[in-house]
Amino acid sequence: MDQLTLTSYLKLLACDGVGVLSARKLLDLSKNVNSLFDADNKQFFTEFNIPKSIQNALLNFDKDNVIQEELKFIEKNHIQCVGILDDEYPKMLKECADAPILLFYKGNLSLLNNNCLAIVGTRKISTYGKEVTAKLMEHLQQYKPTIVSGMAYGVDITAYHEAKKFNLPMVGIMGTSFKKLYPATHKNFYTDLFNNGLIITEYASFNTLVPELFTRRNRIIAGLCSATIVVESAETGGSLSTAYFANDYAREVYAIPGKITDDFSKGCLRLIHENRAQLLYNFEHLITDLNWNTTAEPKKQLEVKKEINLNDFSVLQQTILKTLQNEPLHIDELALQTELLMSVLNAELMMLELNGIVVGLPGKIFKVKG
């Protein structure tokens, strides 16, 4: 992007009284960000009936010193920029009416040309949440989607680590500018993605840091992806906003189920109850829903041919597998024979299903796969 165009985008961002939606509308109409600050371009304002307040804000812009400081900051920190009128702007995000007009980034923007999947959730991830995230990434390995998340504590950073472990491309979306990486303890992870992934923000260094920026950031996470997975969330958790944005954009949303007594399963269960998310009970149906094909033979098909080693499983899971080894059983019969509480049995069966060891059949019947 040339400096004149970048300057015009920055001026539009800094323009008092011109919000995201108004800025997007102006660019959709003008097709040229530079022309918006041209005092001789009165025909444009008249033709499209642009409100006087916005005309005055554009033509009387008086923050040139702020813009010059921002240009210096961008150059000094080797930040790249892409505007919504550019061909390189992420196509999925451009479809969203409230997409940012300018993205600041470090790393490889082309990672967003892959199939993209958002992984979001609570900052207080449980052992269960970590296990599910790890299994999800392992299953996704052969399909090579780009994983998109927020780089916060909990589910976000777990997604980062597991994506790296399975060599999946990773994109982090910040709720701050590059002036302040948050959280600061993740600085090394940010640096890694500058070089081996991608970090994006819509915020310039002159933007005032307020909590609301992180909620606004979530629309970018949802907008970049064909689907969002909520791993764990409180009933009013911040990650629910990402799911709501995805709903608004007509993108798929999936939620990992959990116990109704667990605080950080309640948000997922609420999404499922309100029909805002599909229950993600099996990773393969995610791939089928999204129509992600691969030339590689799915690993699960190879693995089910192997003999199950009971020592690889917990004591409870061993009890279930031994009970199912001869014939499929209804869940009530399985509970009777294993003498497990139904809540415990359901949780363990779900983990065995996610691992591709047990399959659920119609009528609440379960069998060992293979």
Q: What is the 3-state secondary structure (H, E, C) of 194-254?
A: HHHCEEEECCCCCCCCCCHHHHHHHHHHHHHCCEEEECCCCCCCCHHHHHHHHHHCCCEEE
pLDDT higher than threshold 60 for residue 161: yes
Lowest mean pLDDT among 35-39, 124-128, 202-206: 35-39
284 with 142, same domain: the answer is yes
Query: In sequence order, what E strands does the chain have?
Result: 80-83, 102-107, 116-120, 146-149, 170-173, 198-201, 227-230, 252-255, 278-279, 329-330, 358-361, 365-368
251 with 327, same domain: the answer is no
- What is residue 293's predicted lDDT score, i.e. its pLDDT? 64
By percentage, how much of the chain surpasses pLDDT 90? 65
161 with 12, same domain: the answer is no
- What is residue 83's predicted lDDT score, i.e. its pLDDT? 97
State the residue range of the domain holding 280. Answer: 109-290
219 with 143, same domain: the answer is yes
Q: How many CB atoms lie within 10 A of CB 306?
A: 8
197 with 340, same domain: the answer is no
Average pLDDT of the segment spanning 77-93: 96
Answer with the one of 76, 96, 129 that is the final residue of a domain.
Answer: 76
pLDDT higher than threshold 50 for residue 123: yes
Mean pLDDT for the chain overall? 90
Q: How far apart are CA 360 and CA 90, in angstroms?
A: 39
50 with 131, same domain: the answer is no
Tell how strand 329-330 and strand 365-368 pair up. Answer: antiparallel
Place of tokens 């009165």: 42
323 with 175, same domain: the answer is no
235 with 141, same domain: the answer is yes
Q: Which residue did the predictor score with more confidence, 85 or 43? A: 85
Residue 338 belongs to a domain: yes
Name the pLDDT band for 363 (thresholds 50, 70, 90).
Answer: low
- What is residue 313's predicted lDDT score, i.e. its pLDDT? 87
- What is residue 370's predicted lDDT score, i.e. its pLDDT? 65
pLDDT tens digit sequence for 191-220? 999 999 999 999 999 998 888 888 899 999
Residue 87 belongs to a domain: no
160 with 282, same domain: the answer is yes
- Look at phi and psi of residue 339 and say left if phi exceeds 0, alpha if psi is from -120 to 50, else beta: left
Q: How many domains does the chain have?
A: 3
What are the two backbone dihedrals, phi and then psi, of residue 260, each rounded to the nearest 5 degrees?
Answer: -70, -15
Q: How far apart are CA 352 and CA 263, in angstroms?
A: 23
71 with 123, same domain: the answer is no
